Structure 1
């Protein structure tokens, strides 16, 4: 894979980077989106392909991108196709920082050291080439305004931007409502982008966690049912009910 072209994870990160604060919008869901964006980039590179709601490796040859190749190797080691929601929801410690550091090495952002409350060291990232971010945003704007089907990269980027909740960051306020709606509609133009975007939203909605929690209950032993009464023996309630019937049915004796 040529490093002269920005990857979809890098573009998603640049879209999320706030030029004023130097922080990323939607940081928690953005981490899910970056994991999903890796799948889209690997699919565009011909290394993986969708298989229903799962991801299958079709070519294990490295791409030349160390971060993507690490993801590809993890997928290959699984052996069987992996559900997209499980991949997206898996641990991806440091993934955002990995891409921020790469963008810094490429000169697209620079780190600004600071302190939180005057004590805790923090690092913010400012875009050094705002033209790059504007170009990425312009591609989304064009797809939204024209209504013509975008290319696969732009469609996948739009799907991920919607999935991680960047719509209000990119198109804020009431005036951006129609643009946010069209951004959501672009999810249908790329099969892999749509699959991954839905996986990101499912993880945020807790679908993956619910599935994992339900699995032990399916495999576990069901609670034992109450033992049936042994022959002739009656449980107390049944005995009382029948005794009541016998008492009621007994004829009364008239006094002499």
Structure 2
């Protein structure tokens, strides 16, 4: 994969980067969106494929992009297909900072150190070529305004932007309500992007941690004959009848 084309995680991050403040919108959910964008990019590169709501590695050959190849190797090590919601919600948070450093190495952003609120040290990031960010935004605007089905990459970017909550950042206020609605509707134009976007939203809604199925009630231990014989006398004394534990009865807690 050459550097002539930006990857989907890079585009999502540049879309979220505020040119005025040098910070990213929706920083908490953006990590999830970047993990999802990696899956879509790997699918577009023919390295993985959806299998229902799961992801399978179909070609483990590296792409040449170090961040994508790290994700591909982690998927390969899983062996079996993994649910997209479990992958995105896994312990790989911090991707936002990883990709900011990646974009800085590629010369697409530059870091500006300075205090926050005049006190706390912080690092802000400015795009080195604002035309790139404008081009990414223009693709979304065109898809929203014209209603023409976008290409799969733009459709996936729109789906992820909606999933992480960038709609209010890109199209704020009441005047942006219809644009946000159309942004959400673009999720249907790319199956892989839609799968991943729904997984991102499920993680945010807590659906990644599925409750365990309730265990069937344990079979009641038979009451020995002498226990049944003593039951009337125990009941008469106001004592609940209890089974006498036989020598082979074992309580198993699962």
* TM-score in same-fold range (> 0.5): yes
How many residues get paired? 235
Which residue of structure 2 lines up, in the alignment, with residue 95 of structure 1? 95
Written as runs of structure 1 = structure 2, the 5 A alignment for 1:21-170 is: 21-116=21-116, 118-170=118-170
If the length of structure 2 is used for normalisation, what is the TM-score?
Answer: 0.85
Bigger Rg over Cα: 1
Distance 1:115 1:2 in 2: 37
CA 1:141 to 1:224, structure 2 compared with 1: closer, same or farther past 3 Å? same
Alpha-carbon separation, structure 2, partners of 1:226 and 1:141:
68
Q: In the alignment, which residue of structure 1 is the partner of 2:245?
A: none
Partner of 1:254: none
* TM-score, length basis structure 1: 0.85
Q: For residues 8-27 of structure 1, what are the structure 2 equivalents within 5 Å?
A: 8-27=8-27
For residue 94 of structure 1, report the CA deviation from its aligned partner. 3.2
Query: What whole-Å deviation, never above 9, does each CA across 1:178-201 have from its counterpart, x for those lacking one?
Result: 110010011011111000000000
**Equivalent residue of 2:92, what SS?**
coil
8 A contact 2:112–2:126 mirrored in 1: yes
Matches of 2:115 and 2:84 in 1, distance apart? 38
**Distance across 2 between alignment mates of 1:148 and 1:185:** 12
Rounded to whole Å, the distance in 1 between the matches of 2:143 and 2:235 is 74
Please give the alpha-carbon distance, in whole angstroms, between the structure 2 residues aligned to 1:175 and 1:169.
13
C-alpha displacement of 1:145: 1.0
Aligned partner of residue 168 in structure 2, secondary structure:
helix
Q: Deviations over 1:201-243 (max 9, x none)?
A: 000000112x1xx33x657x96786986942515759x79xxx
* Conserved 8 A contact 2:32-2:93: no
Gaps in structure 1 of 5+ consecutive residues: 241-256
